[in-house]
Structure 1
Amino acid sequence: MRAVIVDEDDDSLPLGPRTSEMTAQELDEAIPERAGEQSSEQLLRRRIEYDPVDDGWGPPGTTIPPPLLGAIPGTEDDDHESGAIPMPNVDSSPLLVSPASLPSTGEPAGRSLARALEDATVRAIEVIRELERARSRDEVIDVMVSHLAESHHRAGFFATRHATARAPGELALFAVTPRPTVMPAATLRLDRPSTLQDVIGTRLPYRGPMHDEASRAFLIATLGACPAEILLVPVAVRERVVGVVFGEHRMRHTFDDQLALSARAAGMALERILRARRGG
C-alpha cells in the first residue's frame, strides 16, 4: 500500500504541487498516531458483550425488545430506577372480574315503553283466547273492534264483497264504535286503484294517511271525515281477505306485531266457524 503526499507550502520548488509516494510502514513512522488506530476489519468485528443468562430474549440485536422497558433483560443494573413506564406482565396478572350488577332501568320513557309493550302482549293473549271461544262471525268482529277501541277514538270493521259475474268487488262499513244513528251505505269499488285496495291485495297492515281521492271520499262518506292517520289491519281466511279492521285517532301507543297476531287469530276463528257451519 502506498500513500501520495502533496506539499504546496515550499516556495523554493518549481510551480505546481510536489508529490511523493510512501509505503504503509513509512507512513506509520511519519504519523505515530496512525499506528494506534484499529483496522477496518477490527472495527467490523466488534465484540457484543451480554449476559449469557437465559432470560428468554437472547443477545441484544437478535430480538425485538418489549416497548417502554428501561434496561435490556439480563443487565446487572436492575436496581437502577428507570424513568420508563412500567408494563405489567399480562400472563401472570390476576384476572379481575367485576361483581354482577342488575341491568340498568334506563330512562323513564324507556320504562314506560317497556311497560306498554308488556301490557299490549298480555292483552293480545287475552284477545286470542276470546277469539278461540267465539261461536259466530259477529262475535269475532265484536272482539276485534272492541280491542282496537281500547287504543283508538273510533274503531270499526269494513267487510268485503268479492266480485261476481254481475258486480265488481266492493268494500262497505259493517260495524263501528261508537255506533252512529244511521249506518252509512257507501261502498268502495275494489277494481280501481286505491290505498284500501292495496291493503286488501297485499294482506298487509297499514298505518298512515289516505293519499288517493277514492279512499278519502269513501272515508268521508262512511266516517264523516277523512282522518289524518288511520290503522288498517286486514283479516284473511285461507289467504282471502274477508274484511279490514280499522282504528282512527290513536289515544295511546300500539304495537303492530300484537295487532297482526290478533288479526291472524280472528281469521282462524272465522275459518273454524265456517267449517262448523258447513258440517266439517
Structure 2
Amino acid sequence: MAADLNASIEALTESQRLVLGGIVDAMKAGCNVRVNPDSDLCEEPEFSDYFANLFCIYHAITEHKFEKKSFEFAFKYACIASGWKSEINRNSSHQGEDVTRGGERFSLKTEGENSKTSFKISKFSEARFIANYKTEIEEREISSVADNDLRSKKLHILKDKREKELLPSLVKDFKSTVRHHLSCYDRVLGLKANVIEDEGLISFYHYRLIEIPKSLLERVLDLGVEDFRELRGNGGTSASVICNGKRAFGVTLDGSVEKITFTGINISECITHASFKVSVAVNGSKSHS
C-alpha cells in the first residue's frame, strides 16, 4: 500500500503535491478532541474521529468556517463510519429532518456567533403566516392624514386592532407552526464555531457538537399572548421564554424575512457531545495550546 501511495504521489503535479503536503501537515498536527463520555453519538470513536480528520483536511485548504450543508454530509458520513445507516433528506423544501441516523431524525443547525455560552438558531423555520399580519401600508396611509385628531384616532384604532385581533391570531399561528415543525424530527443538533485569532489571522476554530433538547424548545408552546411584545407594522414581534424564573432563550418572529429565530439558548441547558480545536493550517498555524 505504501508503494502504491508513493507512486500515486509521484504522479501528481507540483501544485497538487503542495496541496497534499498541506493536508498531511494538518493531519500530523492533529485536532484537540474532547468527547463527552455519556454521549450516545460518540459511543463509537469513529464518529468523533471522522469529524476530527475532516476538520483537519478542511482547514488545510480554507479558513472559512464549516457551513450547514457541509455539516449535514459530515454528520451522515460520521454516522456511517461509526456503524449506523444514515441518509440526508435531499428535498430542499422539506421543513423537517435534515439527516437520519438509524431510526432517528435529526434537524441540524450551524452557528458562528461570538458568544461562548449561548447558541442561536437563526432560522428555526419559515413563517410565511406573518404576511397575514402586516399593517405597514395601513400605517403609512394613516401617517399621511393631515388632520392631527383624525390621524391620532386612526392610529389608536390600528394599535387596538394589532393588540386585540392580530397579535392573538399571530401567536396561534406561531404555535401551530412550531408544533408541526418539532413533530417532524426527534433531535436537534448544532455545530457551533468559535474563531480564535492571532494578529488578525484566524489561527484556530473551536467547534462544538451541541444538542438542543426538544423539551427546551417546546417551552415556546407555553407562551401566552401577553408574553409577546407589541406587534410591529411588518408583522414582527418577540418574546422571552422563562424557565425557573430565568430567561432560557428568546423568540423572534422576523417580519422582514418571515422566519422564526431562537436566540440566546443557554448551552449549559444543552448537551455538548464533543468539542474540536483545529488549527487553520492554510494560515500557517501548526500546534495546539
TM range (shorter): under 0.3
TM-score by length of structure 2 reads 0.24
> Greater helix share, 1 or 2?
2
TM-score by length of structure 1 reads 0.24
> Greater strand share, 1 or 2?
2
Higher relative contact order (CA 8 A, sep 6+): 2
